Amino acid sequence: MRRHFGYVAPCTRMPPESLVSGCGKRAKQIFQDGQWPDSEEGLRDGMLRLWRRKLKIVSELANGPEACVTDVPDDDLEDRLLLGKGFQSFIDCLAEGAKVQLDDPVKEVSQDGTGVTMKLRSGKSFRGSFGIVTAPSGVLAELHPDSAIQFQPELPEDKRRALRRLSIPYRGASTHEKVVLRWPKSDPFVAAKLAPPGAALQFETTDVRFHFLNLHKYGREGQLLCHIWGDANWEEHSSLGDEELALHVVNGLRAMFPKDG
């Protein structure tokens, strides 16, 4: 059984800017064209040729996974590109011939003039001419002693400041949450704000907690996605239940569109 690796959205689901070269004026014209992409001669056939070329390239890779497009997508208007076992195919490819150490995190990274030594929690160590550290920013910011990595010599102060800015403020803090709002397709709000020609892909708001994405324009009819950012200094957020959180989002939306209730 294949797993989904990624998907190729049909033309009707893709933002115009990703398919049309040129200025924003052309993209605006497309939004106001209810027959697009069929009205743009050759676009659909051109995209099909592009996807077929990509599939051919993937299938010809040495020892590469099988590539195909599913005939029955999970969602309407969506064609899914399947790649072998999914993302595991890439992991297996990268790990081929490499020694992988699991369940033994790095606790210390030491660098000198001849190379890098990484010491694990178990006491084991590995030596190499260089090292690549891809730990999360919260680990590198030493939010908790159990996961912290000691660097010798210490990281420069400017890098430590950058890590603290990139990281969540404390262990367990929220980072990013999504709330999906749904209306019946016949709802006046959908007709007035989500569906009309020229409706925005994203709705701007002065409320720094939220960012609204118009999913209706991507084929999810009557749906709006609210991103809640963990760096918005909304300290109350982590203590709210689902219903309370949804109410804050709805109130934020009402503040943006007071005439729509």
Residue 253 and residue 36: Cα distance in Å, rounded?
Answer: 30
Confidence category of residue 66, pLDDT binned at 50, 70, 90:
low
Residues 162 and 180 in one domain: no
- Give pLDDT, residue 118: 96
Strands 150-152 and 106-112, sheet pairing: parallel
Which whole number is the average pLDDT over 68-72? 52
Are residues 28 and 60 both part of a single domain?
A: yes
At residue 63, the pLDDT reads 58
Q: Which of 147-161, 174-188, 230-244 has the highest mean pLDDT?
A: 147-161
On whether residue 131 sits in a domain, the answer given is yes
CB within 8 Å of 183: residues ≥ 6 apart: 189, 190, 194, 222, 223, 224
Return the higher-pLDDT residue of 176 and 73. Answer: 176
Q: Which residue has the higher pLDDT, 69 or 122?
A: 122
253 part of a folded domain: yes
Instruction: Spell out the residues 6+ positions from residue 255 whose beta carbon is closer than 8 angstroms to its own.
Output: 205, 207
Q: Is residue 53 part of a domain?
A: yes
Q: Is residue 101 part of a domain?
A: no
User: Do 138 and 201 belong together in one domain?
Assistant: no
Q: Looking at the domain assignment, is residue 100 inside a domain?
A: no
139, 87: one domain: no
188 and 229 assigned to the same domain: yes
88-to-3, 64, 95, 133, 210 alpha-carbon distances in Å: 9, 12, 10, 21, 33
Tell me what pLDDT residue 131 has: 93
Query: Is residue 171 one of the residues assigned to a domain?
Result: no
- Asked if residue 221 and residue 188 are part of one domain, the reply reads yes
pLDDT at 53 over 90: no
Residue 229 lies in a domain: yes
| pLDDT at residue 10, rounded to an integer | 45
In the chain, the percentage of residues whose pLDDT exceeds 90 is: 33
- Mean of pLDDT values over 66-75: 51
Q: What is the pTM of this model?
A: 0.47
Between 8 and 172, name the one with better pLDDT. 172
User: For residue 114, what pLDDT is reported?
Assistant: 95
Please tell me whether residues 148 and 230 are part of one structural domain.
no
Looking up residue 136, the CATH number of its domain turns out to be 3.50.50.60
How many domains does the structure of the chain reveal? 3
Q: Cis omega before residue 156 (within 30°)?
A: no
For the segment 100-144, what is each residue's pLDDT rounded down to a tens digit? Answer: 888 999 999 999 999 999 999 999 999 999 999 999 988 999 999
How high is the pLDDT of residue 261? 60
Residues 16 and 91 in one domain: yes
How confident is the model at residue 150, as a pLDDT?
Answer: 96
Domain end, chosen from 166, 199, 216, is at: 166
Cα distance between the two ends of the chain: 47
Shared domain for 64 and 139, answered yes or no, is no
Query: Among residues 69, 95, 121, which one ends one of the domains?
Result: 95
| pLDDT value for 22 | 52
Check whether residue 188 and residue 232 sit in a common domain. Answer: yes
Residue 111 three-state SS: strand
Instruction: Quickly state the pLDDT bin for 2 (edges 50, 70, 90).
Output: very low
- The mean pLDDT of the chain is 78
In a domain, 125, yes or no: yes
Least confident of 7-11, 87-91, 166-170, 241-245: 7-11
The answer on 206 and 156 residing in a single domain is no
- Whether residues 88 and 132 fall in one domain: no
Residue 90 belongs to domain spanning = 4-95
Domain boundary among 60, 95, 130: 95
What is the band of 169 on the pLDDT scale with cuts at 50, 70, 90? confident
Question: What would the mean pLDDT of 194-204 be, rounded to a whole number?
Answer: 86
